[in-house]
Amino acid sequence: MQGFAEDSDKITLPGAGCGPIVPAHDSSAPPLRQQVFDCVRSQGQIPRVDVAKHLNVSPASVSTLVSDLLGAGLLSEVEAPREPGGRGRPPVALAVRPEAGFVVGIKLSDQTHSGVIIDFAGRTVVEASLNRPSLRSEIELLVEEAESLLRLLLDKAGMERAQLSGVGLGVPGIVDHARGMALWSPIIRGTELPIAELMSSRLGLPVQVDNDANLLTLAELWYGAGRGLADFAVITLEYGVGMGLVMDHKLYRGAHSVGMELGHTKVQLDGALCRCGQRGCLEAYVSDYALVREASVALDLHRTASGSAQVILESLYDQAKAGNEAARTIFRRAGRFLSAGIANVINLFDPSLVILSGARMKYDYLYAEDVLAEARALTLNKARALPRIEANAWGDLVWARGAATLALSAASEALVGEAGQ
C-alpha cells in the first residue's frame, strides 16, 4: 500500500516492545529546586514543612534547596499569619523577594501598544500605553515603537534598563515561539521575520516572543480563572480571533510552536475573505473587521478619515441595542459562527473550562445565552458533562502582563538554576 511519506521520512521502530520510548533521565517535571521555588511563588507565603508536604518530598531536601534560594536572594523568610489564639514564637514562612528581579511585557497591536513592568513575585510595578498611527507597518517601525514604550515604562518607574532581566513580547498572528520568529502577522509587513532577535538587539535585553492569545492564556494560568485547573481553553475576540490551550498545567503550542489558530479554522468553504488571504475562516465571520464589513453593506456605515473601525462597531452595537433588526442580524450571524467554533474546541480538546476573553466581550450579543446554548447543542453531549463557558472581560493591559510573565518564567528558571552553584 502506498504511504503518505517518502522512505526518508519513515520512522524506524524497535523490533519488540510497545509504548513510548523515552530518553534516559527525561522528565517533564522541572528540577526539584525549581519546583520548590514555584511552590513558594504560587502560594505567596508558605512554611518549609508545607512545601515538603505539597511536593511529597522530605523536609531535609526542601531545607537544603531553600538555603540555596535564600543565599541567592531569590527567597526571603517572613512572619507567617498566626493561627487564632496561637501563642509562642510566630511561625516563619517563605516568600519570593519581589526585588530579586524585574521584567517587561509588551503587547504589540494594530492601534495601541501596551506594556508593564512586573517584579519577581509577579506584581505590577508600572504600566503604560503607546498609540500608533498605522494598522500595518514595517518591522523596523515596530522595533522603534517598542523601544519608545520601554523608555516610557522605565521613566514612569524611575528605573534603569540594567535592572531588567528580560522582555516578553506578544504579537498577533502566527508566531514560532521556539525560534523567536513572526511567521505572519496582520500588523507587520513581511513574513518569517526574526522579531525576537531584532528586538533584543535594539532593546539590549533577552526577548521572548509568542502569539498574543497564548500570552492572555498564560495570564489566566498565572493570575486568573485557570490557576487551579490542569486544562482549559481561552478563545480571544479582538480585531481577530485567537485561542490558547493549557494541558497538564502547561501552555500547549503544537509540534512547531504555531498551533491553536482557531480563527483560521474553516467554517465555510469558499466563503468570506480572511485577512490571512484564505477564504472561509472563522475569523472572517466573527472578528472586528468582519462585523465592520457586514455593517458597511447592510447599514451603509463606512469608514472615513474621522471614522475608525471602532466607531463603526460602537454604532452597530448601539443600533442593535435600539432594536435595528439588520444590526441584530449581523451580531446573530456572528454569534452562530462563534457557537460552532466553541463547540469544535470542546469536541477536540474536552477542556474543563472555556474562557471567552478580549475587548469584544462588551458586545454581549456575541456571548448571549442563545449563543452559548447553541454551542452546547453542537457539542457531543451524550452521557458527558459539558465544560463551563465563561466570559472574562480583562482590560487591555492583561495581554502585556501575560507577555511579562513569559519573560519572568524564563528569567526565574535561569536564576533558580544558578542558585547553589
Query: DSSP string spanning 384-418?
Result: SPPPEEEEE---THHHHHHHHHHHHHHHHHHHHHH
- The whole-angstrom distance between residue 268's C-alpha and the CA centroid of its chain comes to 27
Element (H, E) at 341: helix 325-349
Backbone angles phi and psi of 301, in degrees to 5: -100, 115
- Measure the CA–CA gap between 38 and 32, rounded to whole angstroms: 10
Sign of CA dihedral 135, 141, 146, 151: negative
Query: Strand, helix or coil at 7?
Result: helix
- Measure the CA–CA gap between 345 and 275, rounded to whole angstroms: 22
Task: Assess whether 212 carries a catalytic annotation.
Answer: yes
Q: Are 36 and 56 in contact (CB under 8 A)?
A: no
Q: Are 196 and 180 in contact (CB under 8 A)?
A: yes
Catalytic residue among 212, 350, 364, 396: 212
Query: DSSP string spanning 95-130?
Result: EE-GGG-EEEEEE--SSEEEEEEEETTS-EEEEEEE
Element (H, E) at 166: strand 164-171
- Measure the CA–CA gap between 313 and 171, rounded to whole angstroms: 23
Strands 241-247 and 250-252 turn out to be antiparallel
Query: DSSP string spanning 234-271?
Result: EEEESSSEEEEEEETTEEE--TTS----GGGSBSSTT-
β-sheet with 207-211: strand ranges across: 124-131, 112-119, 102-107, 164-171, 207-211
Active site positions, annotated: 212
